[in-house]
């Protein structure tokens, strides 16, 4: 069993070393994810990223301070303030656009995995194809990829 795992790992490592183009698929996926988040930020959130981070940090700091207190009424007041701050953050999120963002991001991820798989299979067969070949094969097999998803 261990020998089989070692053999599979060395095969994958040799495959990656033979064509570093395989690393482009995850890098492209991360870049597209960041671009998608940047372009959809104003649709998902009402406030800027700095304001959102500040609200989350304030809520975390209040939780940390309230956990050190022993008075139950003070703890209860702090807990109510924390929950209102968290609800305030959730009040700035448009969940419909967040859902659209997650679906598009998942679709990009599925296409990237499909493209990576197609490219790895061609390399294993000894062929050399372009980076676009992997994505074209992923698009051609999109129904199967969506069923797998």
Q: Each residue of 62-102: pLDDT tens digit? A: 666 655 555 566 556 655 555 555 566 677 788 999 999 99
Q: What is the pTM of this model?
A: 0.66
| Residue 68 CA, distance from chain mean position | 34
Q: What are phi and psi of 93, to 5 degrees?
A: -100, 130
Alpha-carbon Rg for the chain in angstroms = 23
Residue-wise pLDDT for 2-59, tens only, equals 566 667 667 767 766 767 788 889 999 999 999 999 999 888 887 777 777 777 677 6
| Cβ atoms 38, 68 nearer than 8 A | no
């Amino acid at each position: 069993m261990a020998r089989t795992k070692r053999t599979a790992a060395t095969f994958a490592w040799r495959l990656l070393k033979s064509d570093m183009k395989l690393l482009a698929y995850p890098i492209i996926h991360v870049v597209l994810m960041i671009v998608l988040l940047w372009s959809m930020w104003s649709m998902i959130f009402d406030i800027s990223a700095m304001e959102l981070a500040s609200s989350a940090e304030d809520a975390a700091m209040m939780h940390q301070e309230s956990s050190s207190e022993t008075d139950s009424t003070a703890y209860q007041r702090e807990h109510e303030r924390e929950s209102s701050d968290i609800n305030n953050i959730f009040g700035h999120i448009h969940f419909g656009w967040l859902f659209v963002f997650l679906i598009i991001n998942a679709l990009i991820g599925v296409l990237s995995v499909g493209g990576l798989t197609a490219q790895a299979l061609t390399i294993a067969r000894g062929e050399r194809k372009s980076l676009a070949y992997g994505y074209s094969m992923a698009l051609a097999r999109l129904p199967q990829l969506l069923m797998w998803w």
